[in-house]
Amino acid sequence: MKFINLLKKELSELITVQMLLGLVVTLGIFMALGSVMDTTIDEAVEKTSNYTIRLIDRDDTEFTHDMIKSIEKDGNKVRIFTDSGDDYADILNSNDIDDIVIIPEGFTDNINSSKKPELITAAKMTSAATISNINAGSATAVELIQKYISSKLAETGGLSEKQYELVKEPLTLKENTVVADNSAEIASSSIMSRIAIQNMMLPIIVFVLIILTSQMLMSAVANEKTDKTLETLLSAPVSRGAVIGAKMLAAAVIALINAAVYMVGFKVCMGDATSKISSTAGELISGQVSVDEAMRQLGMSLGGMDYFLVGLQLFFTIMICLSVSLVLGALVSDAKNTQSMIMPIMLLAMIPYIISVMTDINALPTVIRYIVYAIPFTHTFTAIPNLMFGRTGLFFAGLIYQIIVFIICIFFALRLFMSDKLFTISLSFGQKSKYKAKKRRKSAEK
Amino acid sequence: MADVLEVKGLSKQYSKVLAADNISFSVGEGEIFALLGPNGAGKTTTIRMISTLLTPTAGDAIVAGHSIIKEPAKVRENITYLPDEAGAYKNMTGIRYLRFMAGLFTTDLDQLNACVERAKKICGLGDRLEDKIGSYSRGMIRKLLLARAVMTKPKLAILDEPTSGLDVLNAIEIRKMIKQLAAEEKMSFLLSSHNMLEIEFISDRVGIVSGGHLLVMGSAAELKERYSAANLEEVFERVVNENEIH
């Protein structure tokens, strides 16, 4: 009985309005994310089922004509394009298509002389999301061409050992990936595996950094306020601007040290594995260039300026966190409320964080994408993919948006700190205690 | 005796509450002036306005010749403020805290060291100053904060409930210290307290505040005589009740 009494007391301490509100909002976020993912997956499914096979027939023989006819007979939509050189980026961009399969010259001759023929594919990569890089047309074409060659060889009968090997594995695939105006001889899956490893860790670092920075400054301000050390400090011959500036700078320095430690740790932890895994994967699949070289050719490797820009965006993210935390910290009525006050920042960081772990924010349906873009932290999560895929306009739009949000937030933070409200205003999640007081009053009246 | 503080019709209106209404008084050099009043009377609001933490809705206060409205930075150079139930940075050692606070008042190393030495003597915490403040008792923290408040020899020290949390002996010690600083170093004090005996013992003049108004002002002896009261507690009771009746 005593234990139940204690348990009841502990539960009533833990179950608070802010906790319940947090649960409801979190549930809402996950439901919204589920709907976002459904829409994205539906789009991907539609793209996969309504594909068109796009071909360039450079060999132009009776065998390839028959092969294409057989693909069409299977009920596939086939579009034949005229040859326009070896610049695969130009072929895809000028025809405004995402992928193409090229049957090279000598394709039929190679089959006839029992040599493994080459088949060239080129596919556009527009984002880091797997579902936005599905090229069902190319994949189906390769599969059908392989089947056609195998069946044609099998029909001839009396296969030599070489021909038998050809039936089993009839093609050498030369995959090309196109990013913006650049192309490289590598399977997009190899690039994707490299980006996937990066995408696994970087959002975590950004998320932790946002929460850590906010928590630090908010606690610092809240503790000063509740301990009344802030009153002592602000009655000393020192300007309020200096007090705020010192607090923000200290929190920013600690946050940046944290970021550096995380980044170094991430590099040490993942660096070797990343290059080994993805380079090996790249070589196995394409047999042509390493992932690093391919990413360089595709313009996806980040240079010094890119890292500077990413750092700049991270800086403004931290500054937004700090200015919002200043306001929220000043609103805290007691130390216990600090945990609840961080909730708005946590939720705003959680939405782009979860989406960026699951998919590429830029690959979301338009309306949802713009809603997510409205969250200033989103642009930190999309900074690296934007620079990798040459979407510099989007990157700078995000950066400018963050600067504007920061100016607005710091304006309100400074106004609050310079005014009397710093000592007179406080937000308390004390609905429960108010309710209890009301209840007490009622029972006293009775 | 020149006035170190001259409060001229200070008022503070919050959204719906008039926390301080046209409050005027003065504190001379080396004088100890105490504001007495029930909770919510407007004492802390008045003190916070004089400390430049809050901006008055009307009126002004002149501290050592500087207006709290026009020259708040100059005012802060001449005052120290000790809030009621104030804490200190728990992760700092006592000595580090004193050095930090002294560093806000002066950048001259000799002056800073002199301030800290003075505080060390006043607080009497000895070797415990090397320990983190988190390990201090409430009384020890209060002594440290009081020492901090007077170490810079401000023209006006504003102390809200200066002996709250202190045991009897420590409280007596602090009161003696305040009287001594006022008498020997001509430091002026503006106090706020609920402890009537303390105020009667320590202050040169008293102002009784209620409902945002400064109701009466005078020395403890004058007020006792005016209200035919045995002690300041009775004066306080009569003044506050009178105010409620009217």
Distance between CA atoms of residues A195 and A189, nearest Å: 10
Q: How far is B125 from chain A (nearest CA, A)?
A: 20
Predicted confidence band at A412 (pLDDT cuts at 50, 70, 90)? very high
Question: What is the pLDDT, as a whole number, of residue A206?
Answer: 83
- Predicted confidence (pLDDT) per residue in B117-160, tens digit: 999 998 888 899 999 999 998 888 988 999 999 999 999 999 99
> Is A237 within 8 Å of B77 when comparing Cβ atoms?
yes
Distance between CA atoms of residues A197 and A209, nearest Å: 19
B79 alpha-carbon distance from chain centroid = 10
Taking the Cβ of residue B105 and every Cβ of chain A, the question of whether any pair is shorter than 8 Å is answered with yes
Distance between CA atoms of residues A13 and B107, nearest Å: 47
pLDDT at A11 over 80: yes
Taking the Cβ of residue B86 and every Cβ of chain A, the question of whether any pair is shorter than 8 Å is answered with yes
Distance between CA atoms of residues A207 and B184, nearest Å: 59
Helix, coil or strand: residue A113: coil
- Predicted confidence (pLDDT) per residue in B95-125, tens digit: 999 999 999 999 899 999 999 999 999 888 8
SS3 of chain B: the string is: CCEEEEEEEEEEECCCCEEEEEEEEEEECCCEEEEECCCCCCHHHHHHHHCCCCCCCEEEEEECCEECCCCHHHHHHHEEEECCCCCCCCCCEHHHHHHHHHHHHCCCHHHHHHHHHHHHHHHCCHHHHHCEHHHCCHHHHHHHHHHHHHHCCCCEEEEECCCCCCCHHHHHHHHHHHHHHHHHHCCEEEEEECCHHHHHHHCCEEEEEECCEEEEEECHHHHHHHCCCCCHHHHHHHHHHHHHHC
Predicted confidence band at A130 (pLDDT cuts at 50, 70, 90)? low
Taking the Cβ of residue B155 and every Cβ of chain A, the question of whether any pair is shorter than 8 Å is answered with no
- The CA-atom distances, in angstroms, between A227 and each of A164, B125, B137, B146 are 84, 21, 15, 16
Predicted confidence band at A336 (pLDDT cuts at 50, 70, 90)? low
Query: DSSP label at A173?
Result: E
Category of B63 on φ-ψ map: left (φ > 0), alpha (ψ -120 to 50) or beta: beta
pLDDT at A48 over 50: yes
Chain B residues in contact with A424 (beta carbon < 8 A) = 14, 54
Question: Of A220, A216, A290, A252, which Cα lies nearest the Cα of A406?
Answer: A252
pLDDT at A287 over 60: no
A51 compared with B20, residue with greater pLDDT: B20
Q: How far is A223 from chain B (nearest CA, A)?
A: 9
Beta bridge partners of B193: B36
Nearest to A420 among B54, B86, B88 (CB): B54
pLDDT at B8 over 70: yes
- Predicted confidence (pLDDT) per residue in B152-163, tens digit: 999 999 999 888
Contact B60, A214 (CB under 8 A): no
pLDDT at A281 over 50: no
Question: What is the pLDDT, as a whole number, of residue A436?
Answer: 47
Distance between CA atoms of residues A113 and A150, nearest Å: 14
**Helix locations, A74-156, DSSP H:** 88-95, 107-112, 136-156
Question: What is the pLDDT, as a whole number, of residue A356?
Answer: 76
Chain A residues in contact with B81 (beta carbon < 8 A) = 231-232, 235
Chain A residues in contact with B14 (beta carbon < 8 A) = 424
> Is A229 within 8 Å of B101 when comparing Cβ atoms?
no
Q: Range with the lowest mean pLDDT among A206-220, A324-338, B12-26?
A: A324-338
**What is the percent of chain B with per-residue pLDDT over 70, rounded to a whole number?**
98
Distance between CA atoms of residues A144 and A73, nearest Å: 11
**What's the complex ipTM?**
0.90
Contact B24, B8 (CB under 8 A): yes
- Give me the half-sphere count of Cα atoms (radius 13 Å) on the Cβ side of residue A294: 31
Chain A residues in contact with B48 (beta carbon < 8 A) = 231, 423
Closest chain B CA to residue A228: B86
Average pLDDT on A130-147 reads 79
Contact B191, B162 (CB under 8 A): yes
Question: Which residue type is seen at B163?
Answer: T
Q: How far is A226 from chain B (nearest CA, A)?
A: 9
Distance between CA atoms of residues B137 and B133, nearest Å: 9
Q: Range with the lowest mean pLDDT among A32-41, A169-178, A333-342?
A: A333-342
Nearest to B105 among A227, A236, A423 (CB): A236
A358 compared with A385, residue with greater pLDDT: A385
Question: What is the pLDDT, as a whole number, of residue A132?
Answer: 64
Average pLDDT on B187-192 reads 94
